[in-house]
Copies of this chain bind each other. A is one copy, B any other.
Amino acid sequence: MGESLTESRTETALPAPGGPRHAEHRRTAGTPEGRGAAGPQRDGRPAPAEEHEARMLLERARAEVDPVLRAALGSLPGPMRRIAQYHIGWEQADGTVVEGGSGAAAEGGSGKAIRPALVLAAAAARGGSEARAGAARAAAAVELVHHFTLLHDEVTDRETTRRHRPTAWTVFGDADAILAGDALQALALRLLAQDPHPAAPAAAVRLADCVVELCAGQHADTALERCAPTEVTLDEVLAMAEAKTGALIGSACAIGGLYAGASETEVAALDAFGREAGLAFQLIDDVAGIWGDPCRTGKPGGADAAARKKSLPVAAAFASGHPAAAELAELYARPAETEDLERIALAVERAGGRDWAQGQAADRMARAMQQLARAVPDPEAAGGLLALAECVTRRTG
């Protein structure tokens, strides 16, 4: 339900988001020494110090969350464990261990752990290192929900490849991939039920609500795919993308806030921050799905166009009223042919779909920064979340 942030498709540069609060956060967020030395670069690309901070946060999150995940998956009965460990990238299909499987860089590794990192960064932003230390189980629970939805969506979307590896259902069959997904959802909510932290029940409610929203988003996605492109409104596609991608990023940030004892208003602002950043990611990822670099994705180039997906730039193109939209409709009505992919990309671009998506992404990031300033007024404390949000939208490594 939503693209994996661990395999987004390109490093498409995002126009620098505007807004005075965002600028303030960018100037001062993070450790003063690191940030003072490097500072954000003028071209809107992240400063090396920001990139470095995001990498550090992701590595640290993996180090803290991996043992919890490994213990949780290790508690599964043999066949379910094997499927889950294959899916997450720790084992090959034959059960042998993937070397370096916990590292983000490792081919087939368990990925960037951006969602757990957001849980931990949000807890740290509101409650310091003590709150962060208490949120490891919650961070693992969020990651398990992410993997459960991937397992199921791969089955129903018939996706055959993820992160350069065959998807679980292609190896173990539909039924077992569905069962392994079911088991991962149970493990996620079990982690929270076992967690003695006073925020755990509220986090479990929030995570369960998020699962329902993810399901609704995935339903909307497949329902919209069945409609003619001209029948689908841009608002419908935006709402679907928020449910599919924004909801879990938002929940990750909100749950971190809950673990730091943040107020309801602050938790809501953290959720909104994550949702906006998640939507910015989706916009950038959709751009990459048409114009991006297949080497980074393990998927063929122009895959979304080939599948006639009504991604956000495409929906914007159809809604534009531009003459190129009519040409696009004609191309979308034809059976997929490789030579059409370039024409589709061109038509979407001429109808303004690419510019709209990049502008929207910048706008969403600006809104994310506003929400972040509301949730974490101290720019220094907000630095981790800021660095991760930029990482989410591929502005950093």
Contact = CB atoms under 8 A, between A and B. Distances in A.
A82 to B, nearest CB: 10
A185 interface: yes
A250 to B, nearest CB: 16
A215 B80 contact: yes
A79 B76 CA distance: 32
Given A178-B178, A204-B189, A216-B79, A211 B194 contact: no
A80 B220 CA distance: 10
A193 B182 contact: no
Given A189-B204, A190-B205, A204-B189, A216 B155 contact: no
Interface in A134-192: 148-149, 152, 155-156, 174-176, 178-183, 185-187, 189-190, 192
B174 A156 contact: yes
Interface residues of A, number: 44
A212 B74 CA distance: 12
A194 B201 contact: yes
Contact of A182 (B77, B79, B152): B152
A231 interface: no
Nearest to A192: B193
Given A77-B216, A182-B185, A175 B222 contact: yes
A209 interface: yes
Interface string A247-285: 000000000000000000000000000000000000000
